[in-house]
Amino acid sequence: MRGSADVQISRVDWLVVVIYFALVFIGWFNIYAAVYDSQAPQSMFDMSINSGQQLVRIGISVVLIILIMVADYRFFENLSLYIYLVFILILIATPFIGKEVNGQVLSIGVGSLRIQPGEFAKLATALALAKVMERPSFDLTKTKDQLTAFGVLILPVFLILLQPDTGTAMVYFSMFLMFYREGFPQRYYILGIGFIALSLLSLGIENNLYLAIGIVLIMLILILMGKKTWQRIVAFSLIGIGMIAYSYSIDFVVSKLPEHQQNRIMVLFNPNLDPLGVGWNVTQSKIAIGSGGLLGKGYLEGTQTKFDFVPEQHTDFIFCTLGEEFGWVGSLVVIGLFVTLLVRLVVMAERQKTRFARIYGYCVISILLFHFMINIAMTIGLFPVVGIPLPFFSYGGSSLWAFTVLLFIFVKLDSSRSQQLGRIY
Amino acid sequence: MKDQRPVVIILLILGVGLVLLTKLFSIQVMDDSFMKRAERNAIQRVVDHPYRGLVYDRNGKLLVYNNPIFDLMVVPKEFNVQDTARFLELFDISKEHLIENYNAARKYSWVKPSPLIKQISTTEFAKMQDYLIDYPGLFIMTRSVRSYPEPIASHALGYIGEISARQLERDSVNYYSQGDYVGLSGLERYYEDDLRGVKGVKYKMVNVRGIDKGPFKDGEYDTASVAGRNLTSTLDRELQLYGEFLMQGKTGSVVAIEPKSGEILAMISAPYYNPNELTGSEFGKTYTRLNKDPQKPLFNRPIMAMYPPGSIFKIVQSLIGLQDGILFPETTFACNKSLVACHNHPSPVNLFGAIRNSCNPYYHQAFRKMINREVSSNTFKDTEIGLDDWRGKVMKFGLGGRLGIDIVGEKGGDVPSSQLYDRFYGEGRWKYSTIYSLSIGQGELQVTPLQMANLAAIFANKGYYYTPHLIKAVDGDPSQIPAEYRVKNEVGVDAHHFDMVQDAMAEALYGTATRAIIQDLVIAGKTGTAQNPHGEDHSVFVAFAPKDDPKIAIAVYVENAGWGGRAAASTASLMIEKYIKGEITRPALQEYVLAGNFIY
């Protein structure tokens, strides 16, 4: 195999590898803690419990890493569109051949060997976007190119929403971080952030009248500050009226959402709304993390996560176990690792010689950052409960493998960068 | 412009990390309310109720023990029954009952256990155990209730019940909490502090469904409960059992005392109730029923009922007269029936004869000599001085005030003082002729059966008594009993004066209570008849035996049973025989007593 010649161990970014394994093993220890039962302690390696199964998955991940590292770096670029197409087809097929759990069809496979195509589709989409946008003439300020990129992005989102898996679908929009790097006009981001801020304010402020008064005041100030032309006055007035209309209509829009999503949003603003019902997850999650204190209760000493007060504690709420047993210092270490990893990935992406590798690198950054941010934010009540895992940490084969492959393809591309022709402009 | 963008992205990443860490710092380090909420969530403080002390009889036979009872608990969230008909049959519960209890449980909590079927017996429990695993959300909780191997001595032993709000308020050391069981009467109440033990506290971890997940911090903060102390009662189980057997269907009291120690061998209050019915969930129902019963089975007659002592009091009169040198064995009075009624017997009689024949006119005349000693020329004043002096002497016999038995609710009876008659008639407006009924134990005199039994003990002991009590040992140690029960009380009459009295009492049986005579066992006894304005007189008998080495002193009251020589004397005689010989040799007499047909 030609690829094996490409392996240049010295060029591998070891910092990323070390952080990856640190996170994976801290996660594994926490998965054991989450299922640990002091009355019937089982070995961490016991295959009948989650931690034992997770260890096998970690082993498989290592095999995947080796396979990626020995493969030819061109392999991923050349096959990226095919991989994308294969996963689109799998996503189309999933509702028909997959297994339904709680009204969602997320996984396919046979017996206990199941994978969630939605997790891998992120990777495929990242490769496809990198491939599509690689062309030197590709310009995100041009409408045609914008539509091309959005098309690649929207197709899997649409299919995943059919499963339906809102959380995973949301992850795809994190690609706008990569689009930002690649020159998508800044004004859209300002508009987007403004839109989100207005939405949150409308939902968060009980009486929209105050918000409306605020908007009118801001618009008046903006009009008074600039040139007082008719056009500007009309424009700002229309924007202000639009914003007020929006703020009033969002309550109505939210009321049309499915009830569980509505509740998740409302609980964010008022966790005491229904502490035993919808607020339960967030309340219990905050209690678990909050009770950890500065140094935590000690490994395997957590009571909240261990005794099922926190639901989904080994998957989406795995951070609770860490927060409870290792306290703020533990949180600091893990968040520190994630932040270091992400910053390092930015540095690595910026040193790529090909646009493909850089775009792919930013895709990795976008996906990891989104997962990391949203997952932890929801456990501490900063964001509505969205069922997305904490990368490398959460229990589950598909997500671990998908994140591993996602990350290590980039590590591979980075380690091969000296062999690549500089195609960057 | 484009070159700034990676920097913006790095700042964004750092910003996200900073926001998360700040929020985490605020809930983990700054705000300790989560820690408390976590404890409330998962740490449960469980009071470990100590095993209440047991009660044994004087021979080490069990009187009161703790019986484990089982409640079938349900966790509504987990409860699921497919075949209701089979469930109803297996658990022996009606559909209405099941629905009612299940709804109550659901109302209480969806995830916490509540009782579905209360008080399952051991046998039912054994039967159920096999089926339990088929029904999720059901489990058995064990508690213990007081139980009695023989349903006897209910009044002496007393009962326990849930602590009242008022008792809780008075509990200055905060030992008790709502729902605790506490001794409400009898020994259970008097020795509550010994019996209750010391509560322990366990800190348990529970999961979200309230299921026990083991001790918190390996039990570092737990304290063990200390079992209550066992009591040894002075009661003789066999004698008590036999006494209740004899008293069935009657109203009255039997009190038997060991004279040389004051230990109560048997204390029967009839009608009685089955103490096993006054426990656990039955308590409320039974208590209401007993409380409404016109026969007043909850009324503890031996210490609460008061009657005039009647003829038996003549012995006390004799002893005081002898001690004061007013009466002598050879003092004779004529049986002058114009003074007070009497039955036919030879006349005149000396003191011995007066006791033996229970001669009323003798005591009418003797008492006048004891009261009117011409200390004052004013006959009214003289009577007043004499009465109060006499009263002091009578009270030394344990009359006219509470003896101090270890049961709450004892009545003291009454020995009238001059103030009482002053209030009745006015000062200086009453004299001996007003109060002469006291001479034969009538009038304003009031005595409880316990005091009567104590009198018998005094006669047996020749002049002293130990306060009658029901406690023999605490945790097997006799020195742990209250000190007052080891104090010898002298009655102030020299022992030699009792010799003649004892002889006369032994003789009296042949005159007034022939049924009480036992071959080769000398009983000294005295009949009495307590006048009852509401119906037939009460039959009274006091006795001790054997005369030369008294082992038992006894007082028997049978209400509305007429003459003392029949119901009371027969009962007392059978009790004495049972205690001393351990067997009954006179089945006919037993039949006579059981038949209860004393008036003819």
In the predicted structure, residue B1 carries a pLDDT above the cut 60: no
Name the DSSP class of B261: T
Cβ B34–A289 below 8 Å, yes or no? yes
Q: In this model, does residue A2 exceed pLDDT 70?
A: no
- Beta carbons of B5 and A180 less than 8 Å apart: yes
pLDDT at B2: 53
pLDDT of residue A1: 39
How far from each other are the two terminal CA atoms of chain B, in whole angstroms?
A: 128
**Cβ distance of B14 and A343 shorter than 8 Å:** yes
What pLDDT digit, counting tens, does each position of B72-95 carry? 888 887 787 778 888 888 888 888
Interchain contact, B32 vs A293, CB within 8 Å: yes
Contacts of B207 in chain A (CB under 8 A): 306-309
Domain chopping of chain B, boundaries: 69-148
Q: Residue A179: pLDDT band by 50, 70, 90 thresholds?
A: very high
Query: If pLDDT is split at 50, 70 and 90, which confidence band does A267 have?
Result: low
Contacts of A362 in chain B (CB under 8 A): 9
Q: Which residue of A has its CA nearest to B41?
A: A304
**Which residues in chain A are contacts of B14 at CB distance < 8 A?**
339, 343
- A234 burial (CB, 10 Å; 0-12 / 13-18 / 19+) is exposed
Tokens for A143?
């409408």
Alpha-carbon separation of residue B516 from B26, B553, B586 (angstroms)? 90, 14, 11
Q: What is the pLDDT of residue A6?
A: 46
Q: SS3 sequence, B233-247?
A: ECCCHHHHHHHHHHC
**Percent over 90 (pLDDT), chain B:** 44
Q: Which two tokens stand for residue B523?
A: 């009983």
- Kindly report the three-state secondary structure assignment for every residue of B173-229: CCCCCCCCEEECCHHHHHCHHHHHCECEEEEEEECCCCCEEEEHHHHCCCECCECCC
DSSP letter string, A255-288: HTS-HHHHHHHHHHH-GGGSTTTTHHHHHHHHHH
| Chain A partners within 8 Å of B219 (Cβ) | none
Subunit contact A286:B27, Cβ cutoff 8 A: yes
| Residues on B contacting A at a C-beta cutoff of 8 Å | 2, 5-6, 8-10, 12-14, 16-17, 19-21, 23-25, 27-29, 31-35, 37-39, 41-43, 205-209, 213-214, 216
The tens digit of pLDDT for each residue in A271-298 reads 555 555 556 777 788 888 888 888 888 8
Please, what CATH class does the domain formed by B69-148 belong to?
Answer: alpha beta
pLDDT digits (tens, 9 = 90+) for A112-126: 667 788 888 999 999
Q: Stretch B231-237: mean pLDDT, rounded?
A: 95
So what's the pLDDT on residue B254? Answer: 96
Query: Per the CB < 8 Å rule, is A293 touching B28?
Result: yes
- pLDDT per residue over B442-490, tens digit each? 888 999 999 999 999 999 999 999 999 999 999 999 999 999 999 999 9
Between residues B178 and A17, the one the model is more confident about: A17
